[in-house]
Structure 1
């Protein structure tokens, strides 16, 4: 990819070992500095990325550098090499000893693509608005796929779920289904599988271009780092440490996903909600009124569903919106309402078919956990358009049915 600026290496040593990998790649002008001058170097050099060697560095020093990097716009990736301390949420880990020698360059390129996407979004906004990673917390919108059957599975689910949504899979087959049905921001592959099964799964991820930059953290040392996955890490450690390593990678992927939705919203001239991928309320109301009018004139079927979520779990509502946006048919449309519910219009669909569609959507949502073992399945109400219905009467019947279910 085209170079966006120099790479700044921050190290207590004069020339850390990983610098040779960058030199061999001959893709990046490299500038080196020590930790005392790191802040000033960021301002003067205007780097496209920062790679920090953490030998002998404490958490407070790293946190200061991470805050400086996260406040930059466009996105300034910070890659922390061989972290032995707790990582700030925006520092991308990289373990030299457990990685293929070329993976540092691959990971750097993946981070620079996020930076390029960020610059594009800022440039295309009218008026242009700088958006720093420190201004938002995309990990709150993220979904991690946790695969495993070992004793650490419950602890990993809680450690990850305290800060992101977690989808659990006890088999590779279930994991593949989740990857097909929903947006996943990172994978944690735990215990309970043979090395042959894990090899087959990682090979499939490697061969699918959609997943080559997806964060994948393997919690067992039985796997070798030979796979062509930019954000693969092998971390045999306790659940809290695994979550500490995984979440910065997930945050970067979720940030990239947020930027992609923002770009689609810009292309749609503001008709799409950048957070969910569904329509904005004003666009939904306009399309809904048009659909009801056209059916009244030409005939046909139409059904409407309302998905209501637990108000104490806002991430469940957001996760549900993203699932609906991904899985609903191109002819259907929906929007998040002011009360937090999601209303979806199924065009050319009778009541029976609409119930079948909503059952499938609810089944996918049921497998997401947020910090606990319990799942959050929405309450769903479905009504069909009657001959004398208007938009107002149709929504009124939908609301009445919701009240009866709640009571």
Structure 2
């Protein structure tokens, strides 16, 4: 019933005229801590949603770099080689130029520049030079023979011995420019400290290797230096077996394994390459250690394509033009990447389930927070 003019308003009338309390104020009075908890939940959920993709990409990047960096050098490196047969009088002088730094070093730089992105070479651990392809036996009586068999050596002119080693005794081997040919009878060399210890070699020792070209002649290597490898676990020293330390080998025999013998390496100066064909067949090599510092998880696909290109695609053709038409390219990097891809494929679904689980829990809590207090209104 309408209130007459001048008539006092009753308490019931005043209650009827009250405006309903706002929804927010009602919720704040009923559960004062709920909005703050809800806001915190929203903030954390938003942070996780923004950070998760970047964190996942960062972990995948670290895992990719770790997979490449921890693979053995024979699997991770890109190895280029050109076979070189025994020298003869007819072609030795002409082909000797191929075994000198003036031919090998520029092609090393070209090879690095030719690698397709994102495949890059780590220059401080890559190497190049000339090496013997077969085992070369030295029959000097002072050399150690654990079970009576003479040791065998790999002769190499691997570059940059000085920056990767510390002199333990003597000096680094050297040779004047263009002074060594396949007719040279003696060159200088260096061995690692471990090789010197196990094989009884010292500064001034001479290793005699039979020549496969001159009947009755020998090629002598005078040891002028004994070196201690710096960072022997890295690619420079691991690329050539037994360069940092000798190993014992035993050839198979009908009764099992034959007498064990030492296998070691001797580093000659870069200018001594032309003498190697006089000892045994050799090869020019460019060993490129992969640089992972710029790799990201997004590079996995392009990196696999680049590896395939240099082994049997246009990248191989480009390397042949940059280095030598007869260049051979080998790498086990494709198997490393295949293994990483397989591992990533196994882990990604698990991570995705976790991410969706967190998102689902957050959404459920938000819905419950919105539905729960309705009875308080």
TM-score, length-normalised on structure 1? 0.20
| Structure with greater proportional strand content | 2
Structure whose alpha-carbon radius of gyration is higher? 2
Asked which structure has the greater RCO (Cα within 8 Å, sep 6+), the reply is 2
